[in-house]
Structure 1
Amino acid sequence: MATNLRAAVVITHAALPHLVKTKGNIINVSSIAGMSPSAGIGHYCTSKAALDQFSRCVALEVAPKGVRVNTINPGPVRTDIFRNIGLSDERLHANGKGLPLGFVSETEEVGNLMLYLASDKARSITGSSFVIDVGALLIGANTVMEIIQN
């Protein structure tokens, strides 16, 4: 909760005066784990679900001031987290073929979604969660982890 929720709460409250002045926006990075329960990582799922709800509440509070707040909810993305648990890029690539779209997302894809949401092209979007997960939410977090790790 300290990492996934409290940090976002503290940073949001610190940044809001500037964001109101500049009509900026907030994009919180959550996870599909906040949308689907998963055995063994309930604490993580709960913290991400709380981040999603916090983001919606803040979006409602600051919308009249011209500030937008959204979340991005990634599924499996090729990052150091997989290397840190002992998965090589080759194994991650091979295992990703078992996911609905047949691959693991790249960080650039999440970045592109973030750029869109931060731009004026998304000026009508607030209080929303955007899933970018190669279809992983369709099969559930536990199944995704079994596919990725095996």
Structure 2
Amino acid sequence: MNRFVEKVVIVTGAGSGIGAATARRFADEGALVVFAGRTRDKLDSVAARLPQGKSLARVTDVSRLDDVQGLVADTLQRFGRLDVLVNNAGIAPEGKITEASVDDWRQVMAIDLDGVFYGYRVAIPELIKTKGSVINVSSVSGLGGDWGLSFYNAAKGAVTNFTRALAMDHGPDGIRITAVCPSLTRSNMTDDMFADPAMMAKFRERIPLARGAEPEEVAGVIAFLASDDARFINGVNLPIDGGLTASNGQPPMV
């Protein structure tokens, strides 16, 4: 498929995991891809797998407004337009509210929530011009609570409802705003979980498809939501969870 020929896409948090897979997916479908992250070495690794001359790597801290402004400005200077913004950057500090620090709270809100706000705030004038779209990477943790992840739940819950509100405000401008809500997905943040047989047994018990997701599986859904195939989809928070949220939460009893 070549659904994004000459379309310009920004992907944040693209140094690994879902972000890297998403950058590759858009490139494979003909897009001009600007991929951002905080670590140059990781971005260089992603760049090695993307077409020369049709991508741009930029070190960016999405918790800083000036960094996000620079990211969009560099995109326009290089490619002249912006069609799709994928707000993917995120962190997930662990611990109960009495255990995780105030700095943990500030950091998760700055990256997971402020980063989405800054991205949209800066990009919207260009997206109005192109009738573009935004895909926020939320989480099933933004649809329900977890043990020991209350800060992450708060941030992703905000992203989930922010997505709905933005879709209502800017649908009349021709911009579609959606979010994906993955469950356990392989990444450098979850490699230890995938390597733990006891932990994976717990996930297999809860997820009807009995496994975690690969980042490419999430990237494919993001590309769909950005495409004209999804041109009447707006304001949705789409679980990519193998059926996890189909459950009422009780364990298997038969």
Q: How does 1:1-150 map to 2 (within 5 A)?
A: 1-83=109-191, 86-87=192-193, 89=195, 91=197, 95=201, 96-98=203-205, 99-137=207-245, 138=247
Match of 1:148 in 2: none
| Distance in 2 (alpha carbons) for counterparts of 1:91 and 1:22 | 47
1:39 to partner: Cα distance: 2.4
Normalised by the length of structure 1, the TM-score is 0.84
Change (3 A) 1:39 1:93: closer
| Whole-angstrom CA distance in 2 between matches of 1:133 and 1:92 | 19
Inter-partner Cα distance in structure 2 for 1:89 and 1:33: 21
Counterpart amino acid of 2:215?
T
Identity percentage over the alignment? 33
Query: 1:93 touches 1:104 (CA, 8 Å); kept in 2?
Result: no
Q: How many residues align?
A: 139
Paired residues of 2:135 and 2:177 also in contact (CA < 8 A): yes
Q: Which runs of 5+ in 1 are unaligned?
A: 144-150
- For the aligned residues, what is the CA RMSD? 2.1
Radius of gyration: which is bigger? 2
Segment of structure 1 superposing worse, 23-32 or 102-111? 102-111
Aligned partner letter, 2:136: N
Q: Alpha-carbon deviations, 1:94-130, whole Å to 9, x = none?
A: 6354332111111111011011100001010111110
Letter matched to residue 14 of structure 1 = V
Q: Distance in 1 between matches of 2:200 and 2:127?
A: 43
The structure richer in helix per residue is 1
Note the C-alpha offset of 1:72: 0.2
What TM-score do you get using the length of structure 2 for normalisation? Answer: 0.51
Answer 1 or 2: higher relative contact order, Cα 8 Å, separation at least 6.
1
Q: Which moved more, 1:119-128 or 1:37-46?
A: 37-46
